[in-house]
Amino acid sequence: MHFLDQAKIFVKSGDGGPGAVSFRREKYIEYGGPDGGNGGKGGDIVFEAVAGLNTLIDFRYTQHFKARRGAPGAGRDRTGAGGDDLVIQVPIGTQVLADDDDRTLLLDLTKEGERVRFLRGGDGGRGNASYKTSTNRAPRQHGPGWPGEEAWVWLRLKLLADAGLVGLPNAGKSTFINAVSNAQAKVGAYAFTTTRPQLGVVSHKGHEFVVADIPGLIEGAADGAGIGDRFLGHIERCRVLLHLVDANDEDVATSYRIVRDELEAYGEGLTDKPVVVALNKVDTLDDELIAALSAELEAESGYPVMALSGASGAGIEAVLDKLLEAVGQPEPGADPDEDDASGDWSPI
């Protein structure tokens, strides 16, 4: 399945149905009268966040969404049927943005089953029965129905995850997420093996949390170098970042600083998030060199450095303990919807 995290679509709610012009025609009734009913209301445009979707690829092939219009009114004071609402199902974490220069945020769907009416259908027109007065007993006017609303909007998906992996290309992020979760990220001995975000569910000490792996960042990513920084939106909602640095890099401090500079250039509070810094691929080094590189990296980052190897599994348990602590899990068996001292955590 192809991954797509943004799409432009056209949405239009249904027009209201026209009112009816009708008069009673009954045997043995000397005087009839207006009995035209009102038109039905047009259908609404509704966005719904559903589980089981993690891409907007469907919106590449279908870009126009129009709700049904209301049915016309009829004689005998019958109101037309309302048009069916059009429910557009999107992945959890989808944002609806205005088609303007600032991409103004209109909706943010972050909970499973969340439904929001985005455009209201037009009201139905009045039938001629509603125009009857003491001085106008046979009105022939009627309302044509109110038009629905329409708009071009952008859909942008920001995956919901508890922890995000960042680092240079080939820092070992895909190997790590494969080792700790059920993800099957592509691993290769070349840069930019990961070309789209990956999600993995980690089970650790009776708890579960979601880890997101994004394509690696290089110097100048904020200006479009490499794959760029467009995928950083998928870690904006993460509670903690795991910054992996390849122990085989020529200068681990420079490797760390390059990524941090790109996070700072992107903004959105990414540099304010809690960070776990880890030196990866330590299975290729001796203890003395690991200690020296860790000290160098700690001096640059200001964080304690953990040593691990995604390939051999060394040090992974300790890193997961740190991530679990930062995510803030509830006690095993506790209801995440209940208000307790652990906060408002809910598994995704």
Binding site, annotated residues for Mg(2+): 174, 194
3-state secondary structure of 263: helix
Q: Left, alpha or beta for 296 (phi > 0: left; psi -120 to 50: alpha)? A: alpha
Which residue positions form the known binding site?
167-174, 194, 213-216, 280-283, 309-311
Cα distances (angstroms) measured from residue 319 to each of 222, 324, 345: 28, 9, 21
> What is the rounded CA–CA span in Å between residue 67 and residue 83?
7
Q: How far is CA 36 from the centre of its chain?
A: 46
Q: What are the b/e assignments for 182-195, b being 16+ CB within 10 Å?
A: ebebebeeeeebbe
Tell whether the torsion through CA atoms of 124, 128, 132 and 135 is positive or negative: positive
Query: CA angle at residue 295 from 294 to 299, to 5 degrees?
Result: 115
With contact defined as beta carbons under 8 Å apart, do 80 and 31 qualify? no
| Residue whose pair of structure tokens reads 């600083």 in the numeric block | 257
> What is the rounded CA–CA span in Å between residue 279 and residue 246?
6
Residues in Cβ contact with 195 at an 8 Å cutoff, skipping those fewer than 6 apart: 215, 227
With contact defined as beta carbons under 8 Å apart, do 172 and 280 qualify? yes
3-state secondary structure of 177: helix
CB-count exposure of residue 338 (10 Å: 0-12, 13-18, 19+): exposed
Which residue positions form the known binding site for GTP?
167-174, 213-216, 280-283, 309-311
Q: Which two tokens stand for residue 255?
A: 């490797």
Q: What are the b/e assignments for 144-168, b being 16+ CB within 10 Å?
A: ebbbbbebebbbbbbbbbbbbbbbb
Q: Which two tokens stand for residue 332?
A: 């095993």
